[in-house]
């Protein structure tokens, strides 16, 4: 079966995000005074062949091994059957 | 003594490392490419700086799965000296050979300049030729050198004398100004500053040379031939 997977990788809470801070400063300078916090993460779109019983464990393993660094990053994912293959 | 200089696609300090060992130290050096699987013929392993695999995803993230990294892990487990500088340090962190992770520099800038380091620990196989507390000048060149580890990991590093070099001020946001750390058994050192670029006064500093001399001196001590 073909799946469309989205993986979101974000810095763990409490880990400094220099990029987010820079963007926050810039937004404030643009006049968006209400901006209180900006955190920058990554989104990855993955299409892959797998089986219903193993797709989630594969995705989790991919996140743990490579896509996220568990020391400083958290990850989330969504898994959907691909609509058009 | 024979040094392996690991070359990943995107390494760019491999030649400096090779020069430091071969020309300044007068020991044997050989380039070992990322797809090789054995380091058995070497006495020490050097992971140079650069941008391995473009530093895509995270610095060092993709390099950790190069075939040669299994051999690096084996060499580390066998007690051979393993030195990772800059990107090499990042690879060692990603590979789990050292604790912690690197984040973007606090000021977001790529920092490229000579810095002063404090030798926090000279009772190691990498720093025995320095005095305890000796201040040395070695260049840094990195964008992701902001060292992070958990408070628990920091406590363990600190209590066991595994913080080897620190910056004298807050250079890049690193926890406790950490510039270089050791693994638990003391034979794997990761550091952001480049000792291989400070091996001759012509280069502005020769303060990095004692680090390489330490490796050789300690290796000679354990491999001395008694007649």
Per-residue pLDDT, B227: 55
- Buried residues in B55-89 as b, exposed as e (16+ CB within 10 A): bebbbbbbbbebebbebbbebbeeebbbbbbbbbb
Q: Verify whether residue B196 is a known catalytic residue.
A: yes
**Subunit contact B94:A15, Cβ cutoff 8 A:** no
Which regions in chain B score pLDDT beneath 70? 225-227
Interface test with B, best of A71, A72, A73, A75 (most B CBs within 10 A): A71
Residue A69, chain B, CB below 8 Å: the answer is yes
Interface test with B, best of A69, A70, A73, A74 (most B CBs within 10 A): A69
Distance (Å) from the C-alpha of residue A55 to the closest C-alpha of chain B?
22
* CA A84, chain centre distance (Å): 23
Q: Which of B94, B129, B142, B194 is catalytic?
A: B194
Q: Verify whether residue B226 is a known catalytic residue.
A: no
| Neighbouring-strand partners of residue B5 | B31, B46
Per-residue pLDDT, B223: 84
DSSP at A63: I
Interface test with B, best of A9, A18, A41 (most B CBs within 10 A): A18
Tell me the domains of chain A and their CATH numbers. 2-81 (3.30.1280.10)
pLDDT digits (tens, 9 = 90+) for A7-44: 999 999 988 898 899 999 999 999 999 999 999 999 99
Question: Which residue has better confidence, A84 or B148?
Answer: B148
Per-residue pLDDT, A83: 86
Pairing mode of beta strands B44-47, B2-7? parallel
Per-residue pLDDT, A84: 74
Per-residue pLDDT, B226: 62
* Cβ–Cβ < 8 Å for B65, B34: no
**Closest Cα to residue A59, out of A74, A76, A38?**
A76
User: Secondary structure of chain B in the HEC alphabet?
Assistant: CEEEEEECCCECCHHHHHHHHHHHHCCEEEEEECCCCCCCCCCEEEECCECHHHHCCCCCCCHHHCHHHHHHHHHHHCCCCEEEECHHHHHHHHCCCCCCEEECCCCCCCEEEEEEEEECCCCCCCCCCCCCCCEEEEEEEECCCEEECCHHHHHHHHHCCCEEEEECCCCCCCHHHEEEEECCCCCEEEECCCHHHCCEHHHCECCCHHHHHHHHHHHHHHHCCCC
How many cross-chain Cβ pairs, A to B, lie less than 8 Å apart?
38
Question: Which residue has better confidence, B127 or A85?
Answer: B127
Residue A13, chain B, CB below 8 Å: the answer is no
Which residues in chain A touch residue B147, judged by CB atoms under 8 angstroms apart? none
Residue B56, chain A, CB below 8 Å: the answer is no
Please state the ipTM of this predicted complex: 0.84
Per-residue pLDDT, B84: 98
Q: How many residues does chain A have?
A: 85
Tell me the domains of chain B and their CATH numbers. 2-223 (3.40.50.880)
Q: Verify whether residue B120 is a known catalytic residue.
A: no
Residue of A nearest to B102 (CA): A72
DSSP at A12: P
DSSP at A33: T
């Amino acid at each position: 079966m073909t799946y469309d997977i989205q993986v979101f990788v974000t810095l763990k809470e409490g880990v400094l995000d220099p990029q987010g801070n820079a963007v926050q400063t810039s937004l404030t300078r643009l006049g968006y005074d209400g901006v209180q916090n900006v955190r920058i993460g990554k989104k990855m779109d993955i299409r892959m062949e797998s089986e219903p019983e193993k797709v989630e464990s594969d995705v989790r393993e991919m996140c743990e091994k490579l896509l996220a660094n568990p020391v400083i990053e958290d990850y989330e994912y969504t898994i959907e059957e691909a609509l058009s293959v | 003594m024979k040094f392996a200089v690991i070359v990943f696609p995107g390494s760019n300090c491999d030649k400096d490392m090779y020069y430091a060992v071969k020309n300044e130290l007068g020991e044997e050096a050989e380039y070992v490419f990322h797809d090789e699987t054995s380091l058995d013929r070497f006495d020490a392993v050097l992971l140079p700086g650069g941008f391995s695999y473009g530093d895509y995803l995270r610095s060092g993230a993709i390099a950790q799965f190069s075939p040669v990294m299994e051999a690096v892990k084996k060499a580390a487990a066998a007690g051979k000296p393993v030195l990772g500088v800059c990107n090499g340090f990042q690879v060692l962190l990603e590979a789990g050979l050292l604790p912690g992770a690197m984040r973007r520099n606090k000021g977001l800038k790529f920092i490229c300049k000579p810095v002063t380091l404090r030798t926090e620990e000279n009772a190691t196989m990498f720093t025995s030729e320095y005095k305890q507390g000796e201040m040395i000048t070695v260049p840094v060149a990195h964008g992701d050198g902001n060292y992070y580890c958990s408070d628990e990991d920091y406590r363990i590093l600190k209590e066991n004398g595994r913080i080897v070099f620190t910056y004298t001020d807050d250079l890049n946001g690193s926890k406790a100004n950490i510039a270089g750390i050791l693994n638990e058994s003391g034979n794997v050192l990761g550091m952001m500053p480049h000792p291989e670029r400070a091996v001759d006064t012509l280069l502005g500093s020769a303060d990095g040379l004692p680090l390489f001399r330490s490796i050789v001196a300690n290796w000679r001590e354990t491999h001395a031939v008694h007649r």
